[in-house]
A = this chain, B = another copy of it.
């Protein structure tokens, strides 16, 4: 039994418990969508996940996928991100990190910086704020896109 396997089982259990705790139902659709979501690594849109889901379960509707992903966030299984205005990307919930995005090819690099996290808390405290979340995105050109000079801008 791989680490990956236990992680997925953990997620399934987590959803089941969340549903029970909130008087919600465990449906075929939610199980299928969770399965697809867990099978994806990285960042994905609802629309894109819908494609994957539909490949195996053609009867599941798009609205259900949108709803499920939001549910997964509420249940602590997923995390929503907004790199470009207008599209939501989801990733597996895990240890906190922020992102570096290549505006050339779309590559996404994850990073962690405790120092920055500390400064954020200090800034919030200095202004009397209690932080609930933050959004820290760095945009630029990756090494590859810099060398293949044929880029926009």
State the A residues within 8 Å of B (CB). Answer: 82, 85-86, 88, 100, 102-103, 109, 111, 113, 115-116, 119-120, 123-124, 127-143, 146, 153
CB distance from A90 to the nearest CB of B (A): 13
User: Are B115 and A127 in touch, CB under 8 angstroms?
Assistant: no
The answer on a CB contact under 8 Å between B138 and A111 is no
The reply to whether A138 and B143 contact each other, CB–CB distance below 8 Å, is: no
Give the distance in Å from the alpha carbon of A123 to the alpha carbon of B136 in the complex.
12
A115 contact set on B, CB distance < 8 A = 115, 119
Complex CA gap A153/B133 in Å reads 13
A138 — which chain B residues lie within 8 A by C-beta?
Answer: 120, 123-124, 129, 131, 134
Bound complex: CA of A49 vs CA of B124, how far in Å? Answer: 29
Task: Give CA–CA (A143, B129) in the complex, Å.
Answer: 6
Residues of B within 8 A of A116 (CB): 116, 119-120
A119 surroundings in chain B (CB, below 8 A): 113, 115-116
Contacts of A136 in B (CB 8 A): 134-137
Q: Which residue of B lies closest to A82 (CB)?
A: B85
Residues of B within 8 A of A100 (CB): 123-124, 127, 129
